[in-house]
């Protein structure tokens, strides 16, 4: 029974076992790295305008245009098993139509801004132009982990996505808040999101929620046109 | 195969062994399915729309139960669209409402626009029931074999041939 095939099978079997054990150890090592992110989010400017979802649509919807500032330190999320950190800011608000039943509960949530921060080990996977890639690779000088990328400083940042609601009404919505979230994508192992509870050395985000605010009424049409012109 | 005819007892044992391997794999798959409450608890990434997080061939483990909280914005979900047989892995970016009737919108990290164009005609949002699971764990590249096999069908013939060869050779 000691034929070449059996030996080949044994070697392959042992190889895969070793691979999986090493992968499991790497994945488990995530738990040892403390996570202590902190952030402050603040609303800078609010506008509600009427517009169409796309060029050929006849439907008019109300869009919230939000400007915000974000100061975040997510550097503790970067370890040797971090492939990328997906950072996103969402706006959430309670339902107006539910009345008292859904009061206080943030039943609507929409991402208004996001960014992908790769660990230098994953830079080559980014979908960016050659010039930007060169700059990105050069910025870390051959390091494989660069926690300093986790420091974000945005001032008066315009939202990437203009949000609306399914019924097209959004003006004068009250109790809206902005929240910072993250999603850590590992090289191998478990994906993790902003924790709801503290887990070992993984702490909750310190801050990361803006004060509640109310969206203004729709801007007069003339003003909107002047702005876009 | 000739030796199998000479020794039917050994042939039967081998057949049983093969059946056992197949049924074990099937049971494990279905067991995972029951635990995660997902019809397909492990999926292989087929497109680059979630790059740089997921590349083609990466293996994803899904979880489809809402034990502590609802499926929420930011989660990476695998969903089916009516009339399309290939499930899509994208991130949830908007959620309006609660529970089963919540309107959900998805977007690929590597795509500029959201998925409204990918949905069925006249469909603007997906619902919780369209989702077959949220991604909870990740192993890179292991699933690439399945992509190779589906893109180059002749590889299947080669693999079957090799396996047959192994069976015949093992009789020596």
Max Cα separation, chain B? 69
Model confidence pLDDT, tens digit, residues B24-70? 999 999 999 999 999 999 999 999 999 899 999 999 999 999 988 89
This prediction has a pTM of 0.89
Nearest to A190 among B68, B102, B137 (CB): B137
The predicted pLDDT at position A226 comes to 47
The predicted pLDDT at position A223 comes to 47
Distance CA B27, CA B7 (A): 30
The predicted pLDDT at position A97 comes to 59
Distance CA A110, CA A135 (A): 32
Q: What's the complex ipTM?
A: 0.87
Segments of chain B with pLDDT less than 50:
172
* Crossing angle of the two packed helices B154-170 and B144-151, in degrees rounded to 10: 110
Which chain A residue has the Cα nearest residue B55? A125
Which tokens belong to A42? 């603040």
With CB atoms and an 8 Å threshold, state whether B109 touches A118: no
Give the count of beta carbons closer than 10 Å to the beta carbon of residue A85: 22
CA distance A221 to chain B (A): 27
Distance CA B73, CA A161 (A): 14
B110 vs A: CB within 8 A: yes
Distance CA B54, CA B135 (A): 11
DSSP state, residue A30: G
Distance CA B98, CA B69 (A): 11
Segments of chain A with pLDDT less than 70:
1-2, 96-104, 220-229
A185 vs B: CB within 8 A: yes
Nearest to B109 among A86, A108, A163 (CB): A86
The predicted pLDDT at position A224 comes to 47
CA distance B127 to chain A (A): 13
Distance CA A180, CA B112 (A): 21
Whose tokens are 């499926």? That residue is B71
Which tokens belong to A5? 């095939």
Pinpoint the residues of chain B covered by CATH 2.10.109.10: 39-141
Prior bond of B52 cis (ω within 30°):
yes
Enumerate the active-site residues of B: 49, 90, 115
Please state which of the four CATH numbers 2.10.109.10, 3.40.50.2300, 3.30.565.10, 3.40.190.10 is assigned to the domain occupying B39-141: 2.10.109.10
CA distance B169 to chain A (A): 9
């Amino acid at each position: 029974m000691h034929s070449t095939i059996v030996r080949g099978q044994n070697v392959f079997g042992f190889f895969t076992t070793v691979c999986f054990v090493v992968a499991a150890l790497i994945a488990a090592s995530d738990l040892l790295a403390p996570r202590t992110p902190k952030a402050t989010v603040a609303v800078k400017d609010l506008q509600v305008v009427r517009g169409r979802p796309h060029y050929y649509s006849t439907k008019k919807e109300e869009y919230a245009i939000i400007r915000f500032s974000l100061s975040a330190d997510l550097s503790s999320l970067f370890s040797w098993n971090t492939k990328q950190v997906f950072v996103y800011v969402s706006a959430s608000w309670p339902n107006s139509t539910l009345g008292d039943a859904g009061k206080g509960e943030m039943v609507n949530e929409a991402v208004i801004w996001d960014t992908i921060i790769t660990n230098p080990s994953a830079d080559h996977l980014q979908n960016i132009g050659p010039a930007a890639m060169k700059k990105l690779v050069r910025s870390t000088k051959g390091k494989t982990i660069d926690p300093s990328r986790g420091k974000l400083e945005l001032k008066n940042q315009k939202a990437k996505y203009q949000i609306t609601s399914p019924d097209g009404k959004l003006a004068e919505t009250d109790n809206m808040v902005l929240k910072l979230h993250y999603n850590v994508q590992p090289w191998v192992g478990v994906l993790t999101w902003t924790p709801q509870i503290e887990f070992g050395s993984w702490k909750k985000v310190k801050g990361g929620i803006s004060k509640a605010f109310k969206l203004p009424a729709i801007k007069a049409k003339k003003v909107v046109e002047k702005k876009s012109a | 195969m000739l030796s199998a005819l000479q020794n039917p007892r050994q042939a039967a044992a081998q057949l049983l062994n093969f059946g056992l391997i197949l049924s074990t794999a099937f049971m494990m798959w279905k067991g995972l399915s029951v635990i995660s409450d997902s019809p397909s608890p492990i999926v292989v990434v087929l497109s680059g729309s979630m790059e740089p997080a997921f590349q083609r061939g990466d293996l994803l483990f899904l979880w489809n139960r809402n034990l502590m909280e609802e499926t929420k914005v930011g989660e990476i979900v695998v969903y089916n669209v009516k009339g399309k047989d290939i499930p899509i892995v994208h991130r949830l970016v908007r959620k309006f409402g609660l529970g089963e009737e919540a309107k959900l919108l998805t977007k690929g990290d590597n795509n500029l626009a959201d998925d409204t164009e990918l949905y069925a005609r006249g469909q603007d949002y997906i619902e919780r029931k369209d989702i077959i699971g949220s991604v909870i764990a990740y192993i890179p590249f292991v699933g690439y074999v399945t992509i190779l096999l589906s893109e180059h069908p002749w590889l299947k013939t080669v693999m079957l041939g090799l396996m047959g060869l192994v069976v015949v050779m093992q009789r020596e």
